[in-house]
Amino acid sequence: MSLLIGAAIWAFAGERAAQPQTQSQQPKSRAGLMTSLPIYWNEAAGLEVMLSDQTEVHWVKARLEDSYELVPLDALAGADTTEPNGAFAELDQLILAQPYALPPADLVALDEWVRGGGKVLIFADPMLTEHSDFGLGDRRRPQDIAMLGPILARWGLELVYEDTQSDGPDTVSLGSIDIPVHKSGRLELVENGGSDCAQSASGVIAQCSIGQGQAVIIADAALLERDAGSPANEKALNYIVARAFGGK
């Protein structure tokens, strides 16, 4: 999968380099994006379909690119090291949206990067509900169950899922914003955690100060579904990103 993404990144970079820049275009803040969800690339069986212009751009990608230059990442640590790799180290902001299970080196690199001043927005869904054309066990299928327990524990959080909750979609409130959720998790504070975390939205969201950086974690990813695009959800996404990164 990483080879496929790497090839797609090079193809996309070539297209961007060929596009002329106008004087009216202003440099955008750069934000990394690591995800198993079909936000940046189309859900597809092959590279040609993945890069096809025939598929409508995901609304989340479109809204994020209104304010940010997205940098797709498929690894956080360098080869044979736990240090942040070159592409990641250059960034100040990162979105982890239901990523595939991260290797230990990536988890260490993420922790180091945040403690050094990085800001990360994490969507960690314990029971992903968005439909996928690929079956269970297919590596092209999005990550069904968030696998970020070690880094959350490092920051003093535990992701809990209660299977007795309603099967239907719901919302939680964050300030004046309603955020859609569906079979969401809850982020519980753990004693002797390695950061200062506060819960909100009935425990679905936590915001943590970690060293010189910060993390906003959301225990659900229903907001990011392709069919969830609406003015209200665009407003919710903008609000969450602003809360995570500040000034946007």
Domain coordinates in residue numbering, the chain: 2-12+30-245
| The CATH number fitting domain 2-12+30-245, selected from 3.80.10, 3.30.930, 3.40.50, 3.30.70 | 3.40.50
Distance CA 96, CA 83 (A): 18
Distance CA 222, CA 186 (A): 14
| End-to-end Cα, the chain, rounded Å | 32
Does pLDDT of 83 surpass 50? yes
With both helix axes pointing from N to C terminus, report the angle between 231-245 and 59-67 in degrees, rounded to the nearest 10. 50
Q: Cα 90 to chain center, whole Å?
A: 18
* Cβ atoms of 91 and 71 closer than 8 Å: yes
Alpha helices by DSSP H, 38-139: 47-50, 59-67, 86-89, 104-115
Read out DSSP for 16-41?
Answer: HHHSPPPTTPPP-EEEEEEESSTTSS
| Structure confidence at residue 54 as a pLDDT band (50, 70, 90) | low
* Cβ atoms of 5 and 50 closer than 8 Å: no
Does pLDDT of 190 surpass 80? yes
* Cβ atoms of 120 and 92 closer than 8 Å: no
* Cβ atoms of 172 and 204 closer than 8 Å: yes
Lowest-pLDDT choice from 6-15, 88-97, 166-175, 230-239: 6-15
Left (φ > 0), alpha (ψ -120 to 50) or beta: where does 49 sit?
A: alpha
Distance CA 127, CA 163 (A): 9
The pTM for the full model equals 0.85
Cα–Cα distance list, 14 to 7, 11, 19, 87 (Å): 11, 5, 9, 17
Task: Give the CA dihedral 105, 107, 113, 115, nearest 10 degrees.
Answer: -130
Best-predicted range by mean pLDDT (8-22, 162-176, 201-215): 201-215
